Amino acid sequence: MKITVAFAFLALILTLLIQSLFASEPRDISTRYVNEEILKDPAFLKDYFTISNISISSFENVFIKNITERRATTYLKERKSPQKATRNLGGLDINQILDYASKAWEFIKKNEPVQNFKNFYANALPKGVSSGNDLNSWSAPKSKGYKIVFENTLGMSVVSFHYHLIYQYGGQTANGKGRYLDGVHFAPTDIEVMWGFTFDCNVEVPSIVNAGTATDPIAQMMIELQYSIKSLLKVITNTVSFSVRGDGVVTKLN
């Protein structure tokens, strides 16, 4: 008899639990769940598609950082010229710093990284060289992690994008002059985009200057992420700018 009562009580508890899970009361819209009934509510749709906050911050994950830098070491070696510093560098001008690689490229297209993003990078090298292999004393690839989060009026994170800025610094001429940059690019770590939004992102290198002296130049590159988020209501565009120097100093400018 006691066992029967116990089973009946358990059945009642399970029934109440199931009813609470499938009740017709509105669901908590602060979660990522969006059902068809909610999407029929014009007020909800307006709040859902209205971006109220954009946050950009750095993040540090040692495990991801190490993997990112190891991968960068591999594919930076693969895409560099196999020739070493055996060229005639008689026309070398250490004060004139140029980008011999890419100056602009697509990075994220329709919520996905472009397939060949690893093929694009920027450098800041002295005039008269052909690649980073003409210089010595390069650091191993280094990376810094950042994230961009877009929140709507309901407090939902509708787009979350984690990425790493990767770079090599410290390259010098044969006589130990200058500190230059190579392999500067972005690598995606994670991207989450909710229904109804489209995220795109391009990279551009608008300027390279000498932050050192005439006798000992330090390359300084500005590299930008130009992103846009599109919804049924609006298109938002913005730019995140970074300064990367040949002495290894990286600064987020905005």
Q: Per residue in 131-144, pLDDT tens?
A: 888 899 899 889 99
Confirm if 147 and 56 have CB atoms less than 8 A apart. yes
Give the span between the Cα atoms of 73 and 9, in whole angstroms: 63
Confidence of residue 38 (pLDDT cuts 50, 70, 90): low
Cβ burial of 7 (10 Å; 0-12, 13-18, 19+) is exposed
Q: Is the pLDDT of residue 22 over 60?
A: no
Q: What is the dihedral of CA 138, 245, 143, 80, to 10 degrees?
A: -40
Q: Is the pLDDT of residue 3 over 50?
A: no
Give the span between the Cα atoms of 106 and 112, in whole angstroms: 11
Q: What is the pLDDT of residue 167?
A: 93
Q: What is the pLDDT of residue 63?
A: 57
Of 14 and 160, the structure prediction assigns the larger pLDDT to: 160
pTM beyond cutoff 0.85: no
- pLDDT average, residue stretch 91-106: 88
Integer CA distances (angstroms), 15 to 8, 25, 26, 73, in order: 10, 17, 20, 58
Q: Which of 13-27, 96-110, 183-197 has the lowest mean pLDDT?
A: 13-27
Of 216 and 88, the structure prediction assigns the larger pLDDT to: 216
Q: What is the pLDDT of residues 199-243, one digit of tens each?
A: 999 999 999 999 999 999 999 999 999 999 999 888 999 999 999
Give the span between the Cα atoms of 165 and 188, in whole angstroms: 9
Alpha helices in 50-115 (DSSP H): 62-79
- On average, the pLDDT of the chain sits at 80
Give the span between the Cα atoms of 200 and 251, in whole angstroms: 23
